[in-house]
Amino acid sequence: MKIIFAGTPDFAAVALEALLKTSHQIIAVYTQPDRPAGRGRKLQPGPVKQVALANNIPVYQPVSLKNKTEQDTLAELQSDLMIVAAYGLLLPEQVLKAPKFGCINIHASLLPKWRGAAPIHRAIEAGDTETGITIMQMDSGLDTGDMLLTKVCPIEPHDTSATLHDKLAVLGGEAMVAALHILEKNQLQPVKQDNLHAVYAHKLKKTEAVIDWQQSAVAIERKIRAFNPWPVAQTLYVDKVLRLWQAELADTATNAEPGKVIAASKQGIDVATGDGVLRIKKLQLPGGKPLEVHQFLTAHDVLGYLFNPNNS
């Protein structure tokens, strides 16, 4: 098949590389415009564009697909299919209908749960034990189209959004290749989503990163993993923002005020919460690198310190 691929970040680049190993022809890549990066703030191509250029695939980078000129350009490619993975631009109805078999999406959840922008993060934050990939026929709604194929991925107790992202990126490529194989045989069986079970994965905000120590240790530990590598969970320590990269539940009972440091050793910094004790394992001060607890404690005494629950 003649395929247009639309995507921008690493998650999509992994899928594109998987597709390039098949017999299908990637006739064009659509990706978001280059963004400034690094100290010099020079424009840098995204991961998908880098893969496309390395494989001599024509690249299109419209700011929007809402205008007729861009829609006509895409239609003139006469593709059989458009595959979308974390593209970041809205696809109007005219674009959805342009390819022979329409547009299909690689979504990082088991739909209809976690529709929207941050399915990986929200699954970890909610304490889900599994997630997966859904290959979906796109329609005009937000992740509401018919499901074509799903693959399940367990969420391990120590998974962060970074580690789960990498596993799902590989699984997404595998699922899409499998779906294309079934499509070639004309054996795809679309399944309607049950909207009654839909859950929306809201986009992450920096303000969410502030830890509320009144919450349970379980909830805070999940949040730390969900917000790694961005925006990174944080609290206030001596008027400085302390970023928390890794923590675990401590098998300790306490009646201390939530946010109070009740123990500090090379094993971790134990902090009372609204329910249970959280043991901080890796943390970071402004301008510094993430440190293991034993490194941090050589220069800082936190025993008895009360982390500000409101970070203000």
Query: Which of residues 167, 201, 235 is at a domain's end?
Result: 201
142-183 confidence digits (pLDDT tens): 999 999 999 999 999 999 999 999 999 999 999 999 999 999
pLDDT at 49 over 70: yes
Q: Are residues 40 and 130 in the same domain?
A: yes
- What is the average pLDDT across 294-309? 90
Euclidean distance between the first and the last CA atom of the chain, given in angstroms as a whole number: 56
Q: What is the pLDDT of residue 312?
A: 42
Name the residue range of residue 190's domain: 2-201
Q: What is the pLDDT of residue 309?
A: 57
The CATH number assigned to the domain holding 275 equals 3.10.25.10
Q: Are residues 92 and 133 in the same domain?
A: yes
Structure token digits, residue 251: 């098998």
Q: Are residues 192 and 214 in the same domain?
A: no
pTM: 0.95
Is residue 216 in some structural domain?
yes
Query: Which of residues 201, 225, 249 is at a domain's end?
Result: 201
Q: What is the pLDDT of residue 215?
A: 97
Is residue 312 in some structural domain?
no
- What is the average pLDDT across 42-54? 95
Q: Are residues 114 and 128 in the same domain?
A: yes
Cβ atoms within 10 Å, residue 260: 18
Q: Are residues 232 and 178 in the same domain?
A: no
Q: What is the pLDDT of residue 310?
A: 55
Structure token digits, residue 59: 């690249």
Query: Which of residues 145, 171, 201 is at a domain's end?
Result: 201
Is residue 233 in some structural domain?
yes
73-90 confidence digits (pLDDT tens): 999 999 999 999 999 999
Is residue 309 in some structural domain?
no
CA 272/CA 6 separation, integer angstroms = 46
pLDDT at 14 over 50: yes
- The residues, ordered by sequence, that sit 6+ positions from 114 with a Cβ below 8 Å of its Cβ are 108, 122, 123, 131, 199, 200, 201
The total number of structural domains in the chain stands at 2
